[in-house]
Structures are given as C-alpha cells and as structure tokens.
Chain A
Amino acid sequence: MIAVPFAGSLLSLLGLTAIFLTWRRKGVRDRLWRFGLPVGWALLCLGLATWMASTNPDQGLALGSVLIMMLAGAILAWQGLRLAGKPAKTQIERESAADTVALGKGYWGRFTIRLLGSLIIVPVVSVMLGILWQAYMPVSAADRLVGAAIAAVFIMGAALTWQLASRHPYRTFSVLTGVSAITAALVYLPLAMGA
C-alpha cells in the first residue's frame, strides 16, 4: 500500500510549504496567514501520524521524521542556491547579548565550579536519578532498566546545560549535589536496611 505513505508525505510537504510561505509573506500580521504557522505545524503532525499508520508505528515515525527533515533541508538548500529573499522580520540581535562573560572578579572560581560540576556532579546526579527510577518505577523490570538508562542520559544532558548556563554556578552546583545526596539516601538506605 503506497497510498498511505504518499498521503503522509503530501501532508508533510503541505505543512512545510505553509510554514515557509507564512514566513515569506510576512504572514504573522496578515489575516489570511495568521494561522499559517499553527496549520503548518499541525499538518506536519498529521503527516507523521499518517506515516505511523502506514506501517509499524515505530518505523513509520522514524521514516516520517526523516522525510520531513529532508524536505526542510531541501527547501533551505533551494533558498541558499536560488533565493536571496529577506525574512519577515529582522531577527533580534541576540547573539551580541550572549557575550556577557568577562574575566572579572570571581571568574576563575566560577570556571572551576562549572568544570567540577560538569565532570563530577552532573554524571553522579544523573546516574543516581537513573538508579532511583530503576528502584521505584512501577513497571516491568525491562522497562525500568531501559527507562532508567535513557532517563539518566537525558538528565545528564539537561543538568550539563543548566550547570554551564547558570548565572549562579555555585548555587546550581549545590542544588545538584543536594539532589545526588537525597537520591542516594532514597536508594541505598532501604537497601542497607534490608528492604
């Protein structure tokens, strides 16, 4: 059955086109195009759902996602080679706002705590939370184990982002250390008491 994946592809293409045209037509203030973005994203979701229905949901979701990314990449490539169009609005110059790090007082202390947090506390807190997940999640043993491993990696990424981006790295470091200690207590105290 090629009709269902074809429909999924068509919906994805329509969704991307809606998003692209909304952006090109400065549509955010236009009556007709004010719904361009939500409609576009909704069509993309519908396209994915159609792909999932076309085969097994796991493979359908993967294939549909790859297709959307490739179509968006093709639009960008076409833009790069053919168009020199200007966007709907001037993008805020947020990049310049980023350079706030200066070698002022306390720089090296903050640098050290960020480094220690990233290399030691972030891995510890994520593995501890993963183990907590494995100990208490009310699902099958296999689901607990795999869920815990994936959660640990995801938490590691999120905690690393937080530790590095935080304006108060000492505070973040302390919170992560505290969470590690509490989690370790929740896991290992019952085990030590023979539970």
Chain B
Amino acid sequence: MSKSRTIWPKMSAAFVAQNLTGHKILGLATAAVLYLICLSGTATVFYIDMERWETANLPEVTEFRPEIVAAAIGDARSHRTKDVTSINVFTPTKDYPRLNVQVGEETRVYDAQGHYAGRGAHPATEALTELHYYLHLPSSFGMIVVSIGGVAMLALILGGLLAHPRILKDAFLWRLNGTPRTNRADLHNRIGVWASPFHIIIALTGAVIGLSQIFLFVSAMTFNKGDITAAYAPLYPDITAKTHDGQMSGDAIVKALTTLRREHPDAHPNYIGLNNAGTDHESLSVSAEIDDRLVYGDNWEFDGKGNMAGTLHISDGAAGQQVFASLYRLHFGNFGGIWVRWAYVLLGAGLCLICTTGMDIWLLKSAQKGRPYPRLHKLWTAFVWGAPTALALAILTTLTIAAPFVPVFWGLTTVFSLAGLLAASQSFLSRIGRYVFAGSLLALVTGHMLRFGAASFSQTALGLNLTLVILAAITAGLTWRQTRKASSSL
C-alpha cells in the first residue's frame, strides 16, 4: 500500500468499516423510499414547464402589465363565493408566461388582454409534486416522512464520505473492466463524491423545509407560549395594512403595481394576493423576484387605496431571512433559468442512480459471498423501472381520460414490482424494464398529441415532448448497446 503523503486525515480500517456498516444499514432501510423521493423530485424540477405542457391549449402572456392584472382580478371577483376571502394572482414571468388567478378551488387563466381564457387545472402536475412533498400521505404526516428521508440522505452522505479515505485521489476512479460489483461501487462513489454538494444541499434544504414546522412548534412552545405566529415573527413580521379603505378598485391595484415598478425596477412580480376580499379592509400583497438573487423574492403590502404600507425586507434583511427565503429555490433549481433546471434534472438522475446502485452493490456482494437473494434482486429491479413507468402512465391516463393519478400510480407500481418476480432472470428483467419505460414515455407523448393536437408542437409543449422522446431514445439505445455488447462477449 502506498505511503505517499495525503492532505486528507488518516482513517483506520475499523473506522471505515464502521461507517460503511452504518451506511449499509441506513441505505437498505430507506432505499425504496429515497428512490421514490429522488425520482419524483427529479421530475418535479420541470413542474412549471409541466403545468404549461398539461394546459398547452391555453394562451401565454409574455408581458406583465398592471392593467391586465387589475382586469383579471375584477373578473375573478365576480366568481368569488362568500366563503372565499382571498384572490391569488400568479403573474407572468420569464419562466412561467401565464396569468393565472386562483379563486377558492378554481384556477382561471387569462390572456394578454386580461380576458378569461379557460380553466387552468393541472391535476397530473399537482399529483406529481404531491408525490414528492408527501408521498401521497396525509399532508403534514407525509411531509414529515419525506423530511426524515432528507435527514437519512444527509446521514448517508456523511457516512459515505467518512467511509471514503481516498476521496481526493480516487476522484475519477471507475473500474469499467472490473466485476459488476466494483463497476457499480465506483459509479456509486464517483457520482456520490462529485455531486455531493448538490446532494447535501438537496437533503439539507428538503429536510429544513419540512422539519422547520416541527422546530417552530417546539420553539413556540418553549419561547412564545405556543404562539406559532410570534415564533415566525422574526422571519415574517406582520406588515399588513391596517386601514379600512373599502373594496380595492382597479385603479388602486394599477397604482400599487406602478409604484412598485417605479421604486424597485429590479423587482418582477410573480404573485399578487388580494387579502380580505369582499370586506371593507381589502389590501394587496405583492411578491416579486429580484434579479440575480437566490432568495425567492421580496414582499410588499399595499393598502386599499394602493399606497405602500410596508415591506418584509427579505432580500436585504437579516442573513437568516435571506437564507430561509433561498431554501425553496435552491431545492428545486428555480434560479438561473432553464439550463440550471436541466442541470438539476441530470444531477437528480444521478441521485436516483446512487440509490439503485447502492442496493445493487449489496445484492451483488451477498451473491458473491454465497448468500444470493434472487427474488429480492428481481423485485428491486422491477421496482426501479416500474416506478418511473407507472409515473409516465399515471400522467398519461390523467391527461387523456381524467383517471385519478394516485391509485393508477401506486397500483401500477405494485403490479410491475410483483410481476418482476415472474421474470426468468434479473438481467432479462432489467432489459425489458428499460424498454417498457422507454415505451411509456413515447406513449405519453402520443397521448399528449391526441389530446392537444397542434398545440403539442407549440413553444409551450414542444420542449417537454422532445425531452421525453430523447429520453426514450437514450434509454432504449443504451439498453440495445449493452445487450449487443453482452451477447458479443459470450
């Protein structure tokens, strides 16, 4: 063994072995859940593009104009029921050129003139994001489960790094000519090391987003006599307008938005909320993205006459406020435009690969030691390819025949996984699984074309449809190449 100097601290073999044992226990216990979270998270990176793709026939609005927002709010008012006290407007931005107004449960879409254009429901996107947020469990409980998955991922990363004494020297080691196990172990370690900043950020931000509710609850019980609002106050002080100016007119809304544009030209509104709708103390909340910042934006409040009442100072306030406001965008790659989202998708796919190779390494090592688990290996392989296939088919059926996403997805995932047990061999299953997945992606694109016709080729939908076709081609092509290589080496 080399005695060359290293700047990395020396680690004893026992220490490495202990960390690998911990890494293995946690990895085996959480592999399937983490894989589902990573898979849905990778797909969710494109949720804003998918929302547009799912409603491809609706008009796009490229320019934000206060007048059309005021017109849309005016129209939405007439569709408000008495129990709805807020009207939420999602204004057009560079990444999301749509004008959506949410009134109660209904999302209404408006065109560039502020005229109503249709309903903006996107149940498949919603179900996909809910799979990532809650695994379709009851929301609060599900978010805690997913957040604990984030903590487990963080522990796996820490354990993995501690179990890797030659992390710097082996930065590119990949024994392609080695055994399947060493090949997978190297791939697992290399992606794990190079993408570790991404993995740590994803795990940490995900866990903090979910578990902050629990932490705030404990904090409120400890320091604020159980008052959650008071516990939140350092981050989100109450700046709502206290005046009673009656119902907000269209002119007042235009005045508020024009004032914001004049005083903060670098702020681009992405959300406007009409608060206390229908009462005599209506007010306006505006959230706006700030150029070249990671924070999701800043918030301004306006009274019923359109005068500025206050700002949260998120983008230029305490470091804690700025960090907290950056978590969401960091987690979902919502900064830097489409290229960063693409990078997040590739890095997310790498994370899925780490989950699958981790389990593979253990299965192959057990087999090498004379303790094979052929059924478990087939079940795992069928699950790995069955889950994304079920995801694609659940979106397809939701889109084309309005089938409920949740039972279709979980039903198909279960059926595919169990059907894997019937396969002749794991390698055969792996090949078939990839071809079926590629086929499901092509079916999804075909279903979209049947549903939306020419709109499938519009700027709104073409990007995502092409992405799906390319992904199907790469999956099928690599599988074919691998199969040909394997058969020629026999």
Chain A residues close to B by CB (< 8 Å): 19-20, 23-24, 28-29, 37-38, 41, 55-56, 58-59, 62-63, 65-67, 69-70, 72-73, 75-76, 79-80, 83-84, 86-89, 91-92, 94-101, 114, 127, 130-131, 134-135, 139-150, 152-154, 156-158, 160-161, 163-167, 187-188, 191
Interface contact A130-B320, CB-CB below 8 Å: no
Given A152-B211, A160-B155, 5 other A-B residues pairs in contact with their CB atoms under 8 A: A65-B198, A70-B343, A79-B172, A131-B222, A134-B223
Interface contact A55-B292, CB-CB below 8 Å: yes
Q: Which residue of B lies closest to A77 (CB)?
A: B346
Most buried by B among A86, A97, A167: A97
Interface contact B155-A161, CB-CB below 8 Å: yes
Chain B residues within an 8 Å CB radius of A167: 14, 18
Is B121 an interface position by the 8 A CB rule? no
Given contacts A75-B172, A100-B17, are A158 and B158 in contact (CB under 8 A)? yes
Interface contact A63-B22, CB-CB below 8 Å: no
Given contacts A76-B191, A146-B321, are A166 and B207 in contact (CB under 8 A)? no
Interface contact A80-B22, CB-CB below 8 Å: no
Given contacts A59-B336, A70-B343, A131-B218, are A23 and B171 in contact (CB under 8 A)? yes
Q: Which residue of A lies closest to B177 (CB)?
A: A84
Q: Contact mask B262-292 → A, CB, 8 Å, 1/0?
A: 0000000000000000000000000000001
How many A-B contacts are there with CB distance less than 8 Å?
241
Q: How far is the CA of A146 from the CA of B20 in the complex (A)?
A: 32
Which of A150, A158, A163 is the one whose CB lies under 8 Å from B323?
A150
Which of B152, B177, B186, B330 is the one whose CB lies under 8 Å from A160?
B152
Chain A residues within an 8 Å CB radius of B428: none
Chain A residues within an 8 Å CB radius of B197: 65, 69
Is B48 an interface position by the 8 A CB rule? no
Q: How far is the CA of A143 from the CA of B182 in the complex (A)?
A: 45
Is B251 an interface position by the 8 A CB rule? no
Interface contact A92-B320, CB-CB below 8 Å: no
Near A by CB (< 8 A), chain B positions 423-481 give none
Q: How far is the CA of A105 from the CA of B218 in the complex (A)?
A: 40
Which of B163, B191, B218, B361 is the one whose CB lies under 8 Å from A127?
B218
Q: How far is the CA of A112 from the CA of B348 in the complex (A)?
A: 33
Chain A residues within an 8 Å CB radius of B170: 23, 87, 91
Q: How far is the CA of A24 from the CA of B171 in the complex (A)?
A: 11
Is B146 an interface position by the 8 A CB rule? no
Q: How far is the CA of A100 from the CA of B47 in the complex (A)?
A: 44
Chain A residues within an 8 Å CB radius of B330: 62
Interface contact B208-A63, CB-CB below 8 Å: no
Q: How far is the CB of A10 from chain B (nearest CB, A)?
A: 17
Chain A residues within an 8 Å CB radius of B402: none
Q: State the main secondary structure of chain B at its contact with A.
A: helix
Given contacts A58-B293, A95-B361, A142-B235, are A101 and B169 in contact (CB under 8 A)? no
Most buried by B among A67, A88, A147, A165: A165
Q: How far is the CB of A48 from chain B (nearest CB, A)?
A: 10
Interface contact B169-A37, CB-CB below 8 Å: yes
Given contacts A150-B323, A154-B154, are A97 and B16 in contact (CB under 8 A)? yes
Interface contact A28-B2, CB-CB below 8 Å: yes
Is B324 an interface position by the 8 A CB rule? yes
Which of B13, B154, B195 is the one whose CB lies under 8 Å from A69?
B195
Chain B residues within an 8 Å CB radius of A131: 218-219, 222
Q: How far is the CA of A127 from the CA of B220 in the complex (A)?
A: 13
Given contacts A127-B215, A146-B324, A149-B208, are A157 and B154 in contact (CB under 8 A)? yes
Q: How far is the CA of A1 from the CA of B166 in the complex (A)?
A: 39
Which of B13, B14, B168, B320 is the one whose CB lies under 8 Å from A145?
B320
Interface contact B320-A143, CB-CB below 8 Å: yes
Is B190 an interface position by the 8 A CB rule? yes
Interface contact A161-B365, CB-CB below 8 Å: no
Chain B residues within an 8 Å CB radius of A135: 222-223
Q: Which 3 interchain pairs have the tightest Cβ spacing?
A: A165-B22, A157-B154, A98-B20
Chain B residues within an 8 Å CB radius of A145: 216, 219, 231, 234-235, 320
Interface contact A69-B347, CB-CB below 8 Å: yes
Is B1 an interface position by the 8 A CB rule? yes
Interface contact A94-B320, CB-CB below 8 Å: no
Given contacts A24-B172, A70-B346, are A153 and B7 in contact (CB under 8 A)? no
Which of A20, A59, A148, A164 is the one whose CB lies under 8 Å from B25?
A164
Interface contact A140-B158, CB-CB below 8 Å: no
Interface contact B215-A73, CB-CB below 8 Å: no
Is B335 an interface position by the 8 A CB rule? yes
Given contacts A127-B215, A142-B321, A157-B151, are A41 and B168 in contact (CB under 8 A)? yes
Q: How far is the CA of A152 from the CA of B154 in the complex (A)?
A: 12
